[in-house]
Homo-oligomer: A and B are copies of this chain.
Amino acid sequence: MVTVTVWNEFRHERDSDDVAAVYPDGIHTVVADALRERGHDVGTATLDEPEHGLSQSVLDETDVLVWWGHKAHDEVSDEVVERVVEAVHDGMGLLVLHSGHYSKPFKRLMGTTCSLKWREVGEKERIWTVEPSHPITDGVPESFEIPHAEMYGERFDVPAPDELVFLSWFEGGEVFRSGCCYTRGTGRIFYFRPGHETYPIYEQAEIQTVLDNAVEWAAPGDGPDPYFGNAAPLEDLD
């Protein structure tokens, strides 16, 4: 069991009938329920709460933070962004979903623009598992389809992932590195491309399995807490 906080901008669902029709209680609710059903201890937080729902005490008790944002990345305060980044450096896992590629915490942790190609025409996406030994693929088929998706295409301007787990094929002719693992500080980060506010992608069983696995993978371990700073010699010096 991992303690998870699912963060959602939670604007689309209140502003757009199309989005509300798919995610009436917000994307965070669907993601949180899916993780809860799989045994995790899950809370939620949203942009318009005080401190965006991400106070220091919330982060201190979070093993893995799941991040959904799209239209209002700029409204996330720099103070909260730094708090999230520090929490990741100190070991909190971070699961960045779909349009979260342009979120402040992800860009800050990647050090790149995180730009990509995109197209929103509801085309088919097929996800291929390229690293079937990775724990994030447990119970995931070798390939599966998302009937209607927003396309994200390469070049995806991120650092080469430490581990590349999934690739996407799009009907319109593009490919994408859709499941990318990183470590920053002692925190593990998984970027997962699928998901969109007007398609019920987070209801798909395969997607929920990946989210569950990613939460397990990103949860902090019990490795050493490194010492930084001035250090006395461990050996006699001449």
**Residue ranges of A at the interface with B (Cβ–Cβ < 8 Å):** 85, 89, 91, 108-113, 115-119, 121, 123-124, 126, 128-135, 137-143, 151, 153-157, 159-160, 162-164, 167-175, 177, 182-188, 220-235, 237-238
Contact = CB atoms under 8 A, between A and B. Distances in A.
Contact of A157 (B111, B134, B185): B185
Contact of A226 (B91, B109, B132, B174): B132
A139 B231 contact: no
A169 B169 contact: yes
- Copy number in the complex reads 4
B139 A155 contact: no
24 contacts: A91-B133, A109-B111, A115-B228, A115-B229, A117-B231, A121-B233, A126-B173, A126-B234, A128-B155, A128-B175, A129-B223, A131-B183, A132-B223, A132-B225, A133-B187, A133-B221, A134-B221, A139-B223, A141-B224, A143-B234, A154-B167, A155-B227, A172-B235, A174-B231
A151 to B, nearest CB: 8
Contacts of A117: 227-231
A184 B131 CA distance: 10
Contacts of A187: 133
B154 A128 contact: yes
B111 A184 contact: yes
A118 B231 contact: yes
A183 B128 CA distance: 18
A233 B119 contact: yes
A59 B116 CA distance: 25
Contacts of A134: 221, 223
A159 B159 contact: yes
A194 to B, nearest CB: 15
Contacts of A232: 119
Given A121-B237, A168-B175, 18 more contacts: A112-B185, A113-B185, A117-B227, A118-B230, A123-B237, A129-B155, A129-B223, A132-B155, A133-B223, A134-B223, A137-B223, A137-B224, A142-B226, A155-B226, A159-B159, A160-B162, A171-B238, A173-B235
